[in-house]
Amino acid sequence: MEELRGIELLPEPGEPRILSAIDPSTRGFQDQWRAEVTGWAPVIPDSVSIRPRRAFSVISGAAVALVMALIVVLWQSDLLLLELPPPSSEWAFEDTNIRELQNDGLSGEDVRLCMVDTGISLTHSALAGSTVEFKDFVGSEISPTDYGSISHGTLMAGLLISSGYQDGIAQGVTLGMAAALSADGEDNTGSESRVASAIRWCIFDFEADIISLSLGGEQNQEASREGATVSATRQALDLGIYVVAAAGNDGGASDDGYVSAPGNVPLAITVGASDRFNEVWSKSSSGEQVDSEGNLRIYPNQKPELTAPGVSIVSTGTNDQWFSSSGTSDATVFVAGALALILEEHPELKGTNESGTDCIQLVKSSLAASLSPDMDHDSRKGYGVLDAKAWMDSIPSTIDC
């Protein structure tokens, strides 16, 4: 034991009886030792310190026997039932001041928000009683169905409309869900034409005020024409419909320096991910300085526009469980939900058949001003981290769009 003094042991995931020796000076790196499964937040195990073994005495043996006897008695009398609650992401709702807007009575009522994702399952108890207008572009289901790996669409919808253990951002919205993505191993994929059709369903059939896109594709810089999803997104924006899109999850060494499409469309609100300390998530994508037409991006349309909570975010999963995920997908929903609360307070900002993009530009200017009054922009953090209350307060008292 002498040669092992000062050494700590790290339990192996899934088998805590197997311990690996570690140098305490490297403990700061232990969160990087375990590969992260796509869509999940890694669990960092606690280290176990070695202590010298003590001699077993009669007194200690009697104490152990007494404790074991007490446990048996309590167990048989049903007094030893302990139900541990799942973790929550309450910090994300509090830190973004979403709860403050909810305390003012806002819930997204009379706002129509459409998601294009893997679909949705309403079997979770936190979604019981929810009404969703569902359209299937993957199969031919009429009832709400989730085709995704780790039920991606259900996770995203839960952040918005769940109730009970963790209340969603905008429980009062009218939610539309277009299932356009499906599981492909650990990933969720879908053809561009299918996603574009889903966006147009949100525009013309569901008649959305907001379209939330927790998805994205790689920008093709060699293409001579823009893709179908970009065209559909531009069509929505031209009709005064707000589009909130994920910046992408290719940050770090693999970052190509471009946000995902259709988040590259200038008037879309493109969202990166931040953690509970307001630091940018390591995999959140960087934004480019010029748009697809070679024009310099200018305030307030530089990419991404902002970050929002997107690291270890808890939401509704399968089998009535709560899942944890990390990514710009989660962050996108926080911004789309906050915008729904703003549109409830200011219904005059909703798009109409006659309105163009004036209100979208006003809302985006208010967003940027609420985060960065000096107009500073960072290629990863955007203008800053979502503050729903500050965004609301930045909307002009007189709206002329």
pLDDT at position 352, please?
Answer: 83
Domain boundary among 83, 115, 138: 83
Inside any domain, residue 156: yes
**Structural domain count of the chain:** 2
Report the largest interatomic distance among the alpha carbons of the chain, rounded to a whole angstrom.
Answer: 87
Residues 123 and 29 in one domain: no
Domain boundary among 41, 60, 83: 83
pLDDT at position 329, please?
Answer: 97
| Mean pLDDT across 365-389 | 97
Residues 6+ apart with CB under 8 A from 152: 39, 117, 118, 146, 181, 188, 214, 329
Higher-pLDDT residue of 186 and 119 is 119
| Mean pLDDT across 79-106 | 83
pLDDT at 45 over 50: no
pLDDT at 361 over 90: yes
Question: What single DSSP character describes residue 397?
Answer: S
The SS3 call for residue 247 is coil
Its domain, for residue 286, covers 90-394
The pLDDT tens digits of the residues spanning 196-227 come to 999 999 999 999 999 999 999 988 776 767 89
- Residue 98: name the closest of 353, 344, 363, 400 by CA: 344
| Euclidean distance between CA atoms 329 and 212, whole angstroms | 9
pTM of the predicted structure, to 2 decimals:
0.80
279 within 8 A of 243, measured Cβ to Cβ: no
Inside any domain, residue 7: yes
- What average pLDDT does the structure give for the chain? 85
Higher-pLDDT residue of 228 and 354 is 228
The pLDDT tens digits of the residues spanning 244-303 come to 999 999 999 889 999 999 999 999 999 999 999 999 999 999 999 988 888 899 999 999
Angle at which helix 192-200 crosses helix 228-238, to 10 degrees, equals 10
Amino acid sitting at position 153: G
- Residue 124: name the closest of 382, 314, 363, 344 by CA: 314
pLDDT at 42 over 80: no
- Band (pLDDT 50/70/90 cuts) for residue 18 is low
| Euclidean distance between CA atoms 45 and 340, whole angstroms | 38
Q: What is the CATH number of the domain that holds 247?
A: 3.40.50.200
Angstrom distances, CA of residue 200 to CA of 27, 112, 114, 287, 333: 50, 14, 11, 26, 19
Residues 300 and 356 in one domain: yes
The pLDDT tens digits of the residues spanning 300-344 come to 999 999 999 999 999 999 999 999 999 999 999 999 999 999 999
The pLDDT tens digits of the residues spanning 105-158 come to 999 999 999 999 999 999 999 999 899 999 999 999 999 999 998 899 999 999
Taking CA 366 as the corner, what is the angle to CA 113 and CA 241, rounded to the nearest 5 degrees? 30
pLDDT at 16 over 60: no
| Mean pLDDT across 95-106 | 98
What's the chain's Rg over C-alpha atoms? Answer: 24
Residues 62 and 124 in one domain: no
Residues in the chain: 401
pLDDT at position 187, please?
Answer: 85
pLDDT at 8 over 80: no
Instruction: Show contacts of 193-199: CB within 8 Å, 24+ apart.
Output: 193/228, 194/137, 194/138, 195/116, 195/228, 195/229, 195/232, 196/227, 196/228, 196/229, 196/231, 196/232, 197/137, 197/232, 198/116, 198/135, 198/137, 199/116, 199/229, 199/232, 199/233, 199/235, 199/236
Amino acid sitting at position 30: Q
pLDDT at position 75, please?
Answer: 44
Q: Is the dihedral of CA 387, 392, 396, 399 positive or negative?
A: positive
pLDDT at 55 over 90: no
Residues 139 and 171 in one domain: yes
Inside any domain, residue 400: no
Domain boundary among 35, 52, 83: 83
Residues 105 and 65 in one domain: no
| Euclidean distance between CA atoms 335 and 342, whole angstroms | 11
Higher-pLDDT residue of 86 and 360 is 360
